[in-house]
Amino acid sequence: MPIRYCLAALAFAGGAALTTVPAPAASAAVTAAACTDIDVVAARGTFEPGTLGAIVGDPVYSALQRKLTGKSLSSYKVDYPADLSLTSAAQGNSDLVDHVRSQAASCPSQRFILVGYSQGANVVDNSVGISSAGAVVGSPIVATIPAALEPRVAALLLFGNPIRAIGKSVTGTYQSRTIDFCAEGDPICENGGDDVLAHLGYTANAGAAADFAATKV
């Protein structure tokens, strides 16, 4: 199966498993409206169901709520197709940057945690200036978070990041604020990986991601 279409197979293969993932707490608003301490901006994977994403976004948000006690959190689901179209990741890139710019202007003290799974990791990569062009379901950069807002991005939590399969990663300004999970054998993030189901197991890393984010906020 060509790697580009592996994502569609993953979505169907994981269908039964997805029903066991707990939904986020009721306070996890889809769109960040209030000026909370931290806005969690989540870009879901290709065809991934769920409020913020059943495999990654929802469990990571719940883990952050448990870990970041004493801080108020809001969430935003990046508005993009998350499908196999050539412009999907670019649309997500544009929406993520637009949201951060708008939210930052409305809430001068708010900070951001960016979460990206699979194609959603491409969206986050592009948004911080690391092009996902050439990666599976990647795209050229169409927008980047302005340098003036960079200090307000506390952490990047990435899972099954397709740019890793082409030898890239988040470097530069955001490198020390990034944790990038790639399961052994995951063909989306590991060049030569052959364990398709490995791409569906990142719920298990939600706690570790929250622990990392807690050291950055």
The residue from 39, 58, 180, 186 that is catalytic is 186
Amino acid at 45: G
Give the residue among 87, 119, 135, 134 at the shortest CA–CA distance from 199: 119
Q: Is 186 a catalytic residue?
A: yes
Backbone φ, ψ for residue 189 (5° rounding): -115, -10
The residue from 39, 58, 75, 199 that is catalytic is 199
CA–CA separation, 123 vs 57, rounded Å?
A: 14
The residue from 74, 118, 127, 132 that is catalytic is 118
Backbone φ, ψ for residue 204 (5° rounding): -65, -20
Give the residue among 109, 117, 168, 174 at the shortest CA–CA distance from 144: 174
Which single residue is written with the structure tokens 């197709």?
81
Q: Is 118 a catalytic residue?
A: yes
Residues marked as catalytic: 118, 186, 199
